[in-house]
Structure 1
Amino acid sequence: MNIVTLLPFIVLIGAMFLMTRSAKRKQQAAASMRNDMQPGTGVRTIGGVYATVKEVNEETVLLDAGPGVELLFAKNAIGAVLTDDEYNRIVHGVEHDLKDDSDVVPDDASSLTETDEPAADSSDDKPIDLGKKDAAEEPADATEEPAEAAEAKTDEEPKKTDGDSDAK
């Protein structure tokens, strides 16, 4: 047999081996996380219930979900063991001390664009009109202008010619 014909099978078997190895590693990490739970630790179940571990047994975990609410869960039902800061932030709405954080992102982006230098002064403070002009203001044909528009233009600016003027 030729090795070229066996190559796809070898690649397929190698990919399956890597996928199962990765899944096994994730299962072991989850199992060690569940075994390391201690009473008083905040957890989140796979169903989304946040609670504090009250008692850890061989196969089960007794959780305190609030005043007078105790829940018995299987260890496999624990989705994540949370840090104290994370648990307090999610359950109680308590933020940790922000003095330790060096970079704080502001809520408003305008503070990121402000500078100490004054802005350059513009000579005209008139707003720029970007709207479309009326049909009465613009001539229909560039070579012919209505009489009223031509009179208005002579008052505002000198008449422009294209070189074929009647000037003598």
Structure 2
Amino acid sequence: MDPVTLLPIIVLVGAMFLLTRSAKKKQQQAAQMRDQVQPGTGIRTIGGMYAIVKEVHEDTVLLEVADGVHAVYAKNAVGAVLDDEEYQRIVSGGDRAIDTPVVPDDASSLTGDPVATDADAEKKLDLGKKSEAAEPDAGGESTDGRTEGEAGEK
């Protein structure tokens, strides 16, 4: 075969070799990281959940996802092993910016009242349209200058 026709084949085989080698290296690093998991270690799952490892088995780990709440996960679900400081900072909300506003659970911050009841909302919020022309004032004239019962052009 001509060396010019072999060159693309050699380049392609070389690229495939490098890609599979880096993928195998990443898999080995992930397996090594999962082997470091011990009870009491803070972890992040591949789904983004933070938990503490309670038990480690051959293919599974028992995680405490909240106080007294345990769940069994596959070891492959462990996305990252965190050191104690980082885990505590994340779960305690220490990574949140100081100026970040806290969103309330209700709409009281929108109305300005710290505690708004249903009765207050009914008094303040009137969605019904009242036609000023239909309500005559005390002198018998409506606000548009016509007297009661007088038809006008629109």
1:41 aligns with 2:41: yes
Could you list the runs of 5+ residues in structure 2 that have no partner in the other structure? 100-154
1:6 offset after TM fit, Å? 0.3
Q: TM-score of the superposition, structure 2-length normalised?
A: 0.60
Partner amino acid for 1:91? V
1:6 counterpart SS class: helix
1:72 offset after TM fit, Å? 0.4
Task: Please show how residues 117-136 of structure 1 align to structure 2 within 5 Å.
Answer: none
Could you list the runs of 5+ residues in structure 1 that have no partner in the other structure? 96-106, 108-168
Partner amino acid for 2:34? R
1:94 offset after TM fit, Å? 4.5
Residues in 2 aligned to 1:94 and 1:11: alpha-carbon distance in whole angstroms: 49
Residue in 2 aligned with 1:12? 12
2:52 counterpart SS class: strand
1:18 counterpart SS class: helix
Task: Indicate the percent of aligned positions where both proteins have the same amino acid.
Answer: 68
1:23 counterpart SS class: helix
Residue in 2 aligned with 1:23? 23
Rg larger for: 1
1:92 offset after TM fit, Å? 1.3
Residue in 1 aligned with 2:84? 84
- For each residue in 1:15-60, what CA deviation from the matched residue of structure 2 results, as whole angstroms up to 9, or x when unmatched? 0000000000000000010011111100001111100000000010
- For each residue in 1:76-135, what CA deviation from the matched residue of structure 2 results, as whole angstroms up to 9, or x when unmatched? 01111011111111101357xxxxxxxxxxx9xxxxxxxxxxxxxxxxxxxxxxxxxxxx
Partner amino acid for 1:62? L
Pairwise CA RMSD: 1.4
1:73 counterpart SS class: strand
Residues in 2 aligned to 1:49 and 1:59: alpha-carbon distance in whole angstroms: 19
Runs of 4+ in 1 over 3 A off after TM superposition: none
Residue in 2 aligned with 1:61? 61
1:4 counterpart SS class: helix
Q: TM-score of the superposition, structure 1-length normalised?
A: 0.55
Residues in 1 aligned to 2:56 and 2:78: alpha-carbon distance in whole angstroms: 12
1:21 counterpart SS class: helix
